[in-house]
């Protein structure tokens, strides 16, 4: 038997569509175990749960193990404890069996439950829906979900199945193109929705392949059920505007995708009239670009100095001072780090005008606020500011999100780090560092940006020193909260690339990001697993040494201990972590010979302590790269 269930949804947010469908499928697999295959597909208007080869029995037998036998029977007679257990599970005394666990004997029963397919489906569906995690849930018809569920239908191969979720009972009608259509079976359902593209892949394939596939495109097609692309255009005079202003206008207002020149695509339902779609979109874009042109013309009348004079009126965040304060701190930090890294004077010059575009008419307009930096670059070039300085105004905001491009120069990288670290310090002073899942000021993204730049640019900068410098610049003394926050972000960053045990072994070196990653890379490429038994033996014996390790070469009498000592001495001269770990990986022969032929716990105390010191010397050598013991025992 095959079953299909459709949930009629009211305009589900396209950004959350894929993750929600995936979660619903995962939850249904957990909550309904009677189907050989469960798949969940859908659009922003309908979720479709498909259950293949359902083998459902209305009587379900479950083994239930109860209290210990001694608590339920006294001198062979069932007491009140046993009776209560039977009553709870609707069973009789003759249903009892005994179950041995360890040394104890328990009573148990095979509980038989009768449940209808309709009830089981209803229960599984409601549990699966309500256990999906959303930042905000609302109550709709007795069910907590992100958007209202307007109707439910459910069919097997030849009839309607009555299910209920919250206060919504299933019917036999679905909506297609805003019309109610009656359906009576599994096959009939799929025939009725045959024109609807119920997967993102199908929606993608139905659109002209010349349309650029980007995040705006996928958001747009997921707001349709049978999409198509319609070519639109705007007046060529608007091409005088900076490209990103045009792109942002079309993407934000119309979910449109630029197509070269003054053309752009919009996504619409396939049954919509192309001319009407084109007319409506072009009218809105024309109006918004006209506004943008006015903003740019208004800004063109001002000098950079004029914009800077307005920065005291723009706040970073309530209680965190204004943007003039922010820019001044950035200038001071840029001067320090210019000398520290022998950088070009452009870093200081850029810091001095880094925030001026926040006072421009374009950036103050909400829809263009994310163009800060870009507008600064365009306006600075237009006002004959040095190209490198202008570029730094844009690049000090990079990366703006995961996967974004990085600054193109060390000056840009350092200025970006300083700007992001200063933001963290300001919000730390206000007690606004994120502690739970919520991060309204995107501070985790700022921290990851710092870490990524330090990594990709191989900048050997102490993160603690960076946090100390920006905190002092902000008038703060303690960096303990910032340290804790940064350690958690470093750990998160590392876990994207390395096994958890490796991260645990090296995370104590978080203060220097390139060094931390070099350690992790060296451990990942070393063959430690094959030496686990020998190394653990060395680790365990080394712990027996009560004093600081000090190997006396004169006390090494046997060939095997001399050879091991000589190998450790040679390896101790290696500074590169990868080379050191390769050398350590080749110690197996020497360590094996040592354990096979040497009695570590000798009767002679001096000899015993010297051999324990030798093993301790080995352990300290291994731990020069990371706490390998955590990997061996992980």
Do both 456 and 572 map to the same domain?
A: no
Do both 232 and 135 map to the same domain?
A: no
Give the C-alpha separation, 433 to 306, whole Å.
34
Do residues 43 and 197 touch, judged by C-beta distance below 8 A?
A: yes
Q: Is residue 410 part of a domain?
A: yes
Burial of 606 (0-12, 13-18, 19+ CB in 10 A): exposed
Domain of 601: which CATH number?
A: 1.10.730
Do both 9 and 63 map to the same domain?
A: no
Give the pLDDT score at 212: 95
Give every residue of the chain whose pLDDT is below 70, as ranges: 529-531, 546-548, 634
**Angle of CA points 206, 209, 214, to nearest 5°:** 95
Q: How many domains does the chain have?
A: 5
Do both 391 and 491 map to the same domain?
A: yes
Give the pLDDT score at 111: 86
Do both 266 and 218 map to the same domain?
A: yes
Q: Is residue 426 part of a domain?
A: yes
Backbone torsions φ then ψ of 451, nearest 5 degrees: -65, -45
Q: Is residue 503 part of a domain?
A: no
Q: Is residue 512 part of a domain?
A: no
Do both 485 and 389 map to the same domain?
A: yes
Give the C-alpha separation, 28 to 51, whole Å.
10
Do both 374 and 482 map to the same domain?
A: yes
Closest CA to 32 of 14, 66, 15, 56: 56
Give the C-alpha separation, 223 to 232, whole Å.
19
Q: Is residue 40 part of a domain?
A: yes
Do both 44 and 186 map to the same domain?
A: yes
Give the pLDDT score at 634: 64
Do both 560 and 594 map to the same domain?
A: yes
Domain with 110 in it: 59-114
Q: What is the DSSP letter of 222?
A: T
Three-class SS state of 555: helix
Q: Is residue 7 part of a domain?
A: yes
Identify the domain boundary among 453, 476, 496. 496
Identify the domain boundary among 159, 192, 225. 192
Do both 239 and 360 map to the same domain?
A: no
Q: Is residue 502 part of a domain?
A: no
Q: Are strands 263-269 and 227-233 parallel, antiparallel or unpaired?
A: antiparallel
Identify the domain boundary among 233, 266, 299. 299
Do both 401 and 428 map to the same domain?
A: yes
Do both 465 and 357 map to the same domain?
A: yes
Q: Is residue 209 part of a domain?
A: yes
């Amino acid at each position: 038997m095959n079953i299909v269930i459709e949930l009629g949804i009211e305009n589900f947010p396209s950004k959350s569509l894929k993750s929600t469908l995936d979660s619903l499928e995962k939850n249904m697999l957990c909550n309904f175990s009677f189907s050989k295959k469960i798949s969940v597909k859908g659009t922003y208007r309908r979720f479709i749960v498909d259950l293949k080869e359902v083998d459902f029995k209305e009587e379900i037998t479950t083994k239930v193990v109860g209290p210990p036998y001694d608590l339920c029977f006294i001198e062979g007679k069932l007491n009140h404890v046993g009776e209560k257990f039977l009553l709870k599970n609707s069973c009789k005394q003759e249903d009892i069996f005994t179950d041995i666990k360890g040394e104890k004997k328990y009573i148990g029963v095979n509980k038989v439950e009768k449940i209808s397919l309709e009830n089981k489906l209803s229960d599984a569906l409601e549990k699966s829906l309500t256990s999906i995690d959303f930042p905000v849930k609302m109550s709709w018809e007795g069910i907590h979900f992100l958007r209202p569920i307007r109707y439910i239908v459910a069919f097997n191969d030849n009839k309607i199945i009555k299910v209920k979720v919250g206060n919504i009972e299933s019917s036999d009608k679905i909506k297609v193109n805003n019309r109610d259509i009656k359906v009576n079976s599994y096959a009939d359902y799929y025939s009725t929705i045959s024109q609807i593209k119920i997967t993102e892949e199908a929606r993608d394939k139905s659109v002209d392949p010349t349309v650029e596939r980007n995040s705006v495109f996928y958001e747009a097609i997921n707001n349709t059920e049978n999409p198509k692309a319609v070519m639109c255009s705007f007046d060529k005079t608007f091409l005088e505007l900076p490209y990103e202003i045009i792109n942002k206008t079309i993407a934000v207002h119309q979910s449109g995708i630029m197509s070269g020149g003054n053309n752009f695509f919009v996504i619409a339902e396939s049954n919509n009239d192309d001319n009407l779609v084109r007319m409506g979109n072009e009218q809105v874009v024309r109006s918004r670009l006209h506004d943008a042109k006015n903003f740019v013309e208004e800004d063109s009348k001002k000098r950079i100095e004029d914009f800077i004079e307005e920065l005291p009126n723009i706040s970073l965040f309530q209680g965190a001072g204004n943007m003039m304060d922010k820019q001044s701190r950035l200038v001071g930090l840029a001067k320090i780090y210019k000398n520290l890294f022998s950088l070009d004077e452009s870093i200081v010059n850029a810091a001095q005008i880094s925030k001026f575009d926040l006072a421009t008419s374009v950036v103050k307009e909400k829809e263009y606020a994310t163009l800060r930096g870009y507008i600064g670059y365009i306006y600075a070039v237009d006002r004959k500011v040095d190209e490198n300085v202008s570029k730094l105004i844009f690049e000090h905001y990079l990366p703006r999100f995961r996967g974004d491009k990085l600054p193109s120069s060390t000056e840009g990288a350092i200025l970006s780090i300083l700007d992001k670290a200063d933001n963290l310090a300001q919000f730390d002073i206000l007690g606004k560092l994120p502690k739970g899942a919520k991060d309204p000021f995107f501070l985790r993204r700022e921290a990851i940006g710092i870490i990524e730049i330090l990594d990709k640019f191989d900048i050997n900068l102490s993160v603690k020193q960076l946090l100390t410098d920006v905190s002092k610049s902000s008038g703060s003394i303690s960096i303990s909260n910032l340290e804790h926050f940064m350690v958690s972000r470093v750990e998160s960053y590392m876990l994207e690339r390395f096994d958890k045990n490796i991260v645990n072994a090296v995370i104590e070196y978080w203060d220097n990001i390139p060094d931390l990653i070099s350690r992790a890379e060296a451990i990942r490429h070393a063959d430690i697993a094959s030496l686990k038994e020998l190394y653990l033996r060395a680790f365990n014996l080394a712990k027996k040494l009560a004093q600081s390790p000090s190997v006396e070469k004169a006390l090494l009498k046997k060939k095997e201990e001399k050879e091991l000592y000589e190998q450790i001495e040679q390896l101790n001269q290696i500074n590169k972590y990868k080379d050191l770990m390769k050398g350590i990986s080749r110690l197996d022969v020497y360590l094996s010979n040592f354990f096979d032929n040497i009695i570590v716990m000798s009767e002679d105390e001096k000899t015993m302590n010297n051999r324990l010191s030798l093993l301790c010397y080995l352990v300290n050598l291994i731990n020069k790269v990371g706490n390998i013991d955590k990997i061996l025992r992980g």
